[in-house]
Structure 1
Amino acid sequence: MKHVRINAGKVGLVFKKGDYLKVITQGKHWLGFNEHAIVYSLENSFTAPIALEILLKDETLAAMLDVIKVNDNQLVLVYEKGNFKTILSAGRHIYWKGLIKREYTRLDLSKIYITEKLDKALFSNYELSKYIRTFEVAAYEKAVLLVDDVHTKTLTGGVYRFWRNDTSIKIAKVDLRQLQMEIAGQELLTKDKAAIRINFYTQYKVTDIEKALLENKDYEKQLYIAMQLVLRAYIGSYTLDELLERKDNIATAVFEDVKTTAKKLGVSILNCGIRDVILTGDMKEIMNQVLVAQKQAQANIITRREETASTRSLLNTAKLMEENEMLYKLKEMEYVEKIADKIGEITVSGNGGIVTQLKEIFSGNK
């Protein structure tokens, strides 16, 4: 005979020659010949030293144990004293009752949606996050949810979590803000065969997410090509001069023409326009020559106009002098003043007016 003492918070299992006999709790106990006790702490989980089914035949011991069976596609969250402790995966898990209050939350991983009420802080736990798929949709976005490639619903801004299992889950997102598309460096020929490069812009918004993502593939590329083709068609119907004069009209025509196509793509065109018209090397040189010629022609016209005005003014002055002797004398004095500024000394003698004598002097010098 021997005795064994079981302290508070512990429990013992008595075996004889390897066979389970009984469970003993707090206190002093006597063990017979060939009997021994295995002592366990009630704080910890229980690992059965022999087949659990044999131990559970003892109703006293069975009442002291929580046996948690976790099936495939299940998880069990263990809480101790209200705080999360651990995660139990598929298998059988055993805890002692009595000393620590434990709670268990069973999770069904075979579902798509997480319907169990879980603290959001748990989603950052590595052991749990391995079983979760997380998708984030920004406040300015919408997304379509595809379950096994079937459109299920449209998602607005937020964070969405789904169980990670054999079900295929995908989302496709669209930016709902005003967007801009640049059609840059398009090399085109005008009606008069002038080679130019066009930089064109388009502002648009996605208005029908299902059309854009589910009924069309690469809606942005399709919109780009549609704008490109319409622009090419309109540029080819104008001469270079018409194009430079009517840029705004062409942008308006392209805008009206592409609206119907854009609507089929789930897109609304807000605005568009020609940003730049760039001439190629040879064409740029030709246009510069044309511009220089135009400016020279304008300068010549202005020169001729001034000469004509000057001649007309002289004619009018001559008529006035012929009719008014005083004006003639004033003109004589004006000429004398101008000559005096240029010549140091002039001697005039004889009869006749000063202007006449000066004329004779200058004629004689010649």
Structure 2
Amino acid sequence: MKTILEKALGRQRVLVKENERAVALYKGEIQAVLMPGEHWLANRRGNLEISRHDLKNPEFVSAYEKALFDKLPDVAARHFTVVRTGRMEVAVVERDGALHSVPSPDRKLVLWADAGPWKVTTVDTAADLAIDPALMRRLGQARKTEHMFLHPVVDGQVGLLFVDGVLVRTLEAGVHAFWNVGRMVQVKVVDIKRQSLDVAGQEVLTRDRVTIRVNIAAEYRVVDPVQAVSTVKDFSEALYRALQYAFRKTLGALTLD
């Protein structure tokens, strides 16, 4: 309830706490951003409106945001940190040294400056999709992985990185992370260790028309992962068929003796 003094003077006492900021409107128009302390503001006929914001939530979400930036640009510049991302950009936002958020492309984020300090790093994913290993670990620890594609490549393997279906480069052993915004990222792993391939129970007709049943075992190793993946759909199946054809052709030219 208003005090007698407030009614007589046509003013209202507004108390803003240390953990708060307030936006004052009079007759529907933005007047100021109020800092902590006691404020006496004009309030004739109840035309004063106070919008309070708790700094515990550092993001400024308000129906008056545009009006505040349009009518009081200097005030807005003092009180807010604005984060903007482009069509192929993400931002890494840190609050007092701790990871706060990772805004996606085409996003605007308005933060209370006094809730910081803030550090904003903008990343152009069109230039490079790879995420620095140190940042990758921080994103994982902070559970901010919604824009990250993670893929491990173990020893004895090579990873083939495809972006939008196009082979970009090969990946050595290790854990690799990429931004998965606006583009489709895939990693195909190829084993380059020595492997065995068994072709069992093949019936072959020799040159002297005798049917024999043959088992064959082969060892192979992929020396060109790119060629192995791009030339055939399944290189292990193609090798299996090639072995079948090779020993059928060889044994078919021999007699049983």
Q: TM-score, normalised by structure 2?
A: 0.77
The CA distance in 1 between the partners of 2:218 and 2:142, in whole Å, is: 46
Secondary structure of the residue aligned to 1:98 is helix
- 1:69 aligns with 84
Aligned pair 1:50/2:80, yes or no? Answer: no
Describe the superposition over 1:316-359 as per-residue Cα deviations: whole angstroms up to 9, x where unpaired. Answer: xxxxxxxxxxxxxxxxxxxxxxxxxxxxxxxxxxxxxxxxxxxx
Aligned residue type for 1:95 = L
Provide the aligned length of Structure 1 versus Structure 2: 240
Aligned pair 1:88/2:103, yes or no? Answer: yes
Shift of 1:199: 0.9
The CA distance in 2 between the partners of 1:73 and 1:135, in whole Å, is: 21
- 2:93 aligns with 78
Q: Are the structure 2 counterparts of residues 108 and 192 from structure 1 closer, same or farther at C-alpha, using a change threshold of 3 Å?
A: same
8 Å Cα contact 1:175-1:206 kept in structure 2: yes
Describe the superposition over 1:271-311 as per-residue Cα deviations: whole angstroms up to 9, x where unpaired. Answer: xxxxxxxxxxxxxxxxxxxxxxxxxxxxxxxxxxxxxxxxx
- 1:114 aligns with 130
Higher share of residues assigned strand: 2
Q: TM-score, normalised by structure 1?
A: 0.57
- 1:38 aligns with 51
Q: Are the structure 2 counterparts of residues 60 and 158 from structure 1 closer, same or farther at C-alpha, using a change threshold of 3 Å?
A: same
Aligned pair 1:177/2:187, yes or no? Answer: no
Indicate the RMSD between aligned Cα atoms, in angstroms.
2.8
* Unaligned ranges ≥5, structure 1: 243-366
Aligned residue type for 2:50 = A
8 Å Cα contact 1:110-1:163 kept in structure 2: no
> Aligned runs of 1:132-211 on 2, under 5 Å?
132-211=148-227
8 Å Cα contact 2:136-2:177 kept in structure 1: no
**Identity over the aligned pairs, expressed in percent?**
25
* Higher RCO structure, 1 or 2 (CA under 8 Å, sep 6+): 2
Higher share of residues assigned helix: 1
The CA distance in 2 between the partners of 1:49 and 1:146, in whole Å, is: 43
Aligned residue type for 1:50 = Y
> Aligned runs of 1:219-230 on 2, under 5 Å?
219-230=235-246
The CA distance in 2 between the partners of 1:119 and 1:144, in whole Å, is: 20
8 Å Cα contact 1:56-1:62 kept in structure 2: no
Aligned residue type for 2:83 = I
Shift of 1:30: 1.6
Name segments (4+ residues, structure 1) moved above 4 Å: none
8 Å Cα contact 1:111-1:163 kept in structure 2: no
